[in-house]
């Protein structure tokens, strides 16, 4: 039972005494007291007025007096309108700190064998281009969500679905076939995903030139697109691939393998891993088979052109294409097949798709179709919908080659971290190897934190320069604070000052009690982040903790404190703030340095 639950229990007992009434925990609204008021926790009395039959102020006053009388942990209270602000004793905060100190895994729950199994899909790249800034946000959100779920005692399978087939893949293949001159990653010195991405852009450029010429000869835009020989060739290549044409499949395998090697390097840089990777080239056939079964059962219908559709009007949705007239699959078909394979492979309790908000409608439809097909998991799918990410310059477009490449961005962040760290003297006492490790930690930490601190549902603008600020709401600011605390702990060790497991009673300041209270909140925030699928709660919690610690560090002596009990408390407090920073940042996939 945590401190808030104990307070709720005490308040319920007091209400029974005062008003001879039974209330449950849902009627007891407790929140952390706002900084401008004195107190640790605030009880909102308005839901209790029908029981007390008194004004908000009188109700709060009566409950406060009764709590002071009955509980040694509550030392004072004040009433602001209908809000009862409760102050808890220093002894309680000392006791709570000792408990946190005795449990290095505080806030984390280990999964049991029968814990719910969550599968989380993220990344979902196309093999016609390298990973870009949008993929970076997706990968970081997916990885962090998995870590937070695991910290809440869930079993987690991290999965990826690679879009390795379709007309867009054929565009890159056709461009390489026509204009590639047998170029390879080895002959060009380029990463495989970068090389193939260039041919995707080249196809777009060549097609635009072809369409411009057709329109210049008097055709309308639609007529020109219908007569595009390049698109006709790309569609022909797709049909050859789906018919297992040996030459086409060999080319496809070769180019995709180049891309996979490139992806692997980028994932490694980001610290992202997967337990299971699915490929749409495998899943689309399963989806096609499911659609044809549904057609036989009368769940779907066929149009005159032989295309297959689902009528979802009963779900207040439209009609959805499932198979094209030529029999080829669409994204929905592939997702149906992937879902079936996953539930065949794993006893999944909850399936979470980390996909941008432009696909909101797609997942509503997918859920409805899987339900139509009789799969119990259909209605239980979770779409972790997140907003788009852009640079200050504006929106990115893959086909035009204006995307921000993930590899270039990572390299730029590390270079910027090195430059900024050198300018501020952060690397002055480091060996070359230590400096390299730190700038990589800081560069990647800046990138990850800046993206993850934003509510996933919101669109965001990523500003590389702003993300490196050592004094702002940034990863480097948090990392530097961790290094600062480690420096204090090293100095204590050099002076043979040991941090005890228990501390004699000392009267704490409001700031010290507030800092312990923030540490106590860690377990609550981890739970809330999982329940709401909101990784930004962790990021912002760690920032608030660091900001509070820096104010404490500025206002109070630690090693120079003459009161030995107070010195021991402040060292134990510092040690656990550092550990909580490290654990919190680990949930975001961010490392923190011990020196800086």
**pLDDT by residue (tens digit) across 504-520?**
999 999 999 999 999 99
**Phi and psi angles of residue 155, each rounded to the nearest 5 degrees, phi first:** -85, 140
Tens digit of pLDDT for each residue in 254-303? Answer: 999 999 999 999 999 999 999 999 999 999 999 999 999 999 999 999 99
- The pLDDT > 70 percentage for the chain reads 98
**Phi and psi angles of residue 376, each rounded to the nearest 5 degrees, phi first:** -60, -30
Q: Is the pLDDT of residue 395 over 70?
A: no
In angstroms, rounded to a whole number, what is the distance separating the alpha carbons of residues 437 and 148? 26
Q: Is the pLDDT of residue 20 over 50?
A: yes
Among 59-68, 402-411, 582-591, name the one with the lowest average pLDDT. 402-411
Compute how many other C-beta atoms are within 10 angstroms of the C-beta atom of residue 554: 7
Tens digit of pLDDT for each residue in 23-70? Answer: 988 889 899 999 899 999 999 999 999 999 999 999 999 999 999 998
Contacts of 11 (CB under 8 A, 6+ apart): 28, 30, 43, 63, 67
- What the chain holds in terms of domains, given with CATH numbers, is 3-88 (3.30.1360.70), 122-390 (3.40.50.620), 418-587 (1.10.730.10)
Provide mean pLDDT across the span 320-341.
Answer: 92
pLDDT bracket for residue 404 (50, 70, 90) = confident
DSSP per-residue codes, 397-433: -TTTT-S-BHHHHHHHHHHHHHHHHHHTTTTTT--HH
Q: Is the pLDDT of residue 77 over 60?
A: yes
In angstroms, rounded to a whole number, what is the distance separating the alpha carbons of residues 500 and 506? 14
- Please report where in the chains the tokens 């709570």 appear, as a residue: 96
pLDDT bracket for residue 399 (50, 70, 90) = very low
Contacts of 417 (CB under 8 A, 6+ apart): 439, 440, 442, 443, 446, 468, 476
Q: Is the pLDDT of residue 397 over 60?
A: no
pLDDT score at 398: 42
In angstroms, rounded to a whole number, what is the distance separating the alpha carbons of residues 268 and 278? 19
Contacts of 439 (CB under 8 A, 6+ apart): 414, 417, 418, 421, 427
User: DSSP 3-state assignment of 466?
Assistant: helix
pLDDT bracket for residue 253 (50, 70, 90) = very high
Are the beta carbons of 281 and 350 closer than 8 angstroms?
no
In angstroms, rounded to a whole number, what is the distance separating the alpha carbons of residues 411 and 405? 10
In angstroms, rounded to a whole number, what is the distance separating the alpha carbons of residues 302 and 294? 11
According to DSSP, residue 4 is labeled H
DSSP per-residue codes, 43-102: EE-GGGHHHH-S-HHHHHHHHHHHHHHH-TTEEEEEEETTEEEEEE-HHHHHHHHHHHHT
In angstroms, rounded to a whole number, what is the distance separating the alpha carbons of residues 270 and 135? 11
User: How far is C-alpha 109 from the chain's CA centre?
Assistant: 19
Are the beta carbons of 34 and 50 closer than 8 angstroms?
no
pLDDT score at 469: 87
Compute how many other C-beta atoms are within 10 angstroms of the C-beta atom of residue 451: 26
Q: Max CA-CA distance within the chain?
A: 92
Q: Is the pLDDT of residue 394 over 90?
A: no
Among 171-175, 237-241, 482-486, 487-491, name the one with the lowest average pLDDT. 237-241
Which neighbouring-strand residues pair with 78? 85
Reading the block at residue 338, the tokens are 């992937």
In angstroms, rounded to a whole number, what is the distance separating the alpha carbons of residues 574 and 548? 11
Are the beta carbons of 79 and 37 closer than 8 angstroms?
no
Q: How many residues can be counted in the chain?
A: 596
Task: Give the CA distances from residue 96 to residues 110, 467, 519, 537, 576, in Å, rounded to whole numbers and listed in that order.
Answer: 21, 35, 9, 22, 12
pLDDT score at 138: 97
Reading the block at residue 214, the tokens are 């057709």
User: DSSP 3-state assignment of 394?
Assistant: strand
Which neighbouring-strand residues pair with 86? 41, 77
DSSP per-residue codes, 438-469: HHHHHHHHHHHHHHHTS-TTS-EE--HHHHT-
Are the beta carbons of 36 and 28 closer than 8 angstroms?
no
pLDDT score at 402: 55
pLDDT score at 1: 65
The H helix count followed by the E strand count for the chain is 21, 14
Are the beta carbons of 364 and 353 closer than 8 angstroms?
no
pLDDT bracket for residue 191 (50, 70, 90) = very high
Which neighbouring-strand residues pair with 512? none
pLDDT score at 523: 96
Are the beta carbons of 438 and 446 closer than 8 angstroms?
no
pLDDT score at 396: 42
Please tell me the pTM assigned to this model.
Answer: 0.92
Task: Give the CA distances from residue 470 to residues 417, 452, 476, 515, 587, in Å, rounded to whole numbers and listed in that order.
Answer: 10, 17, 5, 22, 21
Provide mean pLDDT across the span 180-194.
Answer: 96
pLDDT score at 315: 92
């Amino acid at each position: 039972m945590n401190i808030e639950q104990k307070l709720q229990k005490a308040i319920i007992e007091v209400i029974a005494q005062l008003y001879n009434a039974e209330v449950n925990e849902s009627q007891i609204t407790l929140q952390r007291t706002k900084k401008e008021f004195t107190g640790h926790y605030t009880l909102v009395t308005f839901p209790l007025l029908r029981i007390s039959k008194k004004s908000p102020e009188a109700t709060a006053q009566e409950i406060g007096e009764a709590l002071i009388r009955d509980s040694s942990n509550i030392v004072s209270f004040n009433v602001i309108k209908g809000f009862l602000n409760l102050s808890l004793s220093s002894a309680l905060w000392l006791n709570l700190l000792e408990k946190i100190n005795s449990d290095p895994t505080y806030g984390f729950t280990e999964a049991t064998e029968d814990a719910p199994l969550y599968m989380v899909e993220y990344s979902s790249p196309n093999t016609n281009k390298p990973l870009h800034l949008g993929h970076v946000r997706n990968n970081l959100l997916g990885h962090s969500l998995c870590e937070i779920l695991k910290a809440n005692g869930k079993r987690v399978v991290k999965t990826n679905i690679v879009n390795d087939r379709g007309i867009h893949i054929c565009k890159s293949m056709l461009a390489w076939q026509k204009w590639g001159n047998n170029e390879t990653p080895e002959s060009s010195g380029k990463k495989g995903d970068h090389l193939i991405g260039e041919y995707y852009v080249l196809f777009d450029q060549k097609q635009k030139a072809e369409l411009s010429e057709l329109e210049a000869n008097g055709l309308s835009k639609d007529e020109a697109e219908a007569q595009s020989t390049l698109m006709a060739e790309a569609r022909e290549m797709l049909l050859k691939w789906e018919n297992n044409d040996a030459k086409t499949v060999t080319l496809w395998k070769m180019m995709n393998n180049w891309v996979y090697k490139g992806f692997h390097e980028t994932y490694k840089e980001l610290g992202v891993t997967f337990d299971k990777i699915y490929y749409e080239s495998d899943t689309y056939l399963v989806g096609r088979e499911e659609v044809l079964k549904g057609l036989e059962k009368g769940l779907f219908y066929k149009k005159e052109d032989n295309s297959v559709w689902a009528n979802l009007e009963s779900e207040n949705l439209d009609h959805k294409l499932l198979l094209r007239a030529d029999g080829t699959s669409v994204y929905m078909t592939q997702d149906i097949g992937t879902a079936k394979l996953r539930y065949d492979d794993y006893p999944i309790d909850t399936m979470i798709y980390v996909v941008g908000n432009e696909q909101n409608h797609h997942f509503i439809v997918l859920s409805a179709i899987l339900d139509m097909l009789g799969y119990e998991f259909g209605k239980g799918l979770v779409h972790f919908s997140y907003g788009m990410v852009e640079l200050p310059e504006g929106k990115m477009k893959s086909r035009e080659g204006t995307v921000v490449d993930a590899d270039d961005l990572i390299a730029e962040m590390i270079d910027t971290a090195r430059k900024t760290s050198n300018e501020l003297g952060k690397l002055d006492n480091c060996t070359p190897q230590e400096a390299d490790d730190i700038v990589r930690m800081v560069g990647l930490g800046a990138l990850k934190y800046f993206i993850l601190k934003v509510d996933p549902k919101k669109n965001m603008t990523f500003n590389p320069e702003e993300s490196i600020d050592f004094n702002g709401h940034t990863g480097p600011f948090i990392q530097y604070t961790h290094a600062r605390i480690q420096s204090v702990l090293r100095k204590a060790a050099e002076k043979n000052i040991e941090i005890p497991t228990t501390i004699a009673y000392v009267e704490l300041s409001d700031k010290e009690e507030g800092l312990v209270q923030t540490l106590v909140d860690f377990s609550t925030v981890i739970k809330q982040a999982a329940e709401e699928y909101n990784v930004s709660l962790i990021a912002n919690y760690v920032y608030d903790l660091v900001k509070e610690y820096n104010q404490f560090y500025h206002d109070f002596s630690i090693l120079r404190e003459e009161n030995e009990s107070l010195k021991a408390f402040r060292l134990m407090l510092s040690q656990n703030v550092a550990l909580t920073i490290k654990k919190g940042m680990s949930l975001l996939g961010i490392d923190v340095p011990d020196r800086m």
